[in-house]
Amino acid sequence: MIRDKSHMESVEKWAEFVRTAPRNEWKKVMDVFIDAVYEKADEFYKRLEETEKGREALDRLMKERMRVGS
């Protein structure tokens, strides 16, 4: 489900950029974006580890990942 018109316009603009620009041009942008996503996830997990409830949530998540991955 698309959130709003401006979001859809941004998606369409990015798709057009990917279709028309050389791969090495848009890949640089994606590399930065993907690295930032992983950094934010790491920061989030570290904050969760600081509390008992957070550690419990991470434990449940890891068990679920192991169950699904089997």
pLDDT of 39: 98
The answer to whether the pTM exceeds 0.75 is no
Average of per-residue pLDDT across 27-42 = 96
pLDDT exceeds cutoff 90 at 53 = yes
pLDDT exceeds cutoff 70 at 2 = no
**What confidence tier does 35 reach under pLDDT thresholds 50, 70, 90?**
very high
pLDDT of 1: 56
Show the 3-state SS of 11-60: HHHHHHHHHHCCHHHHHHHHHHHHHHHHHHHHHHHHHHHCCHHHHHHHHH
Every domain of the chain and the residues it spans: 22-69
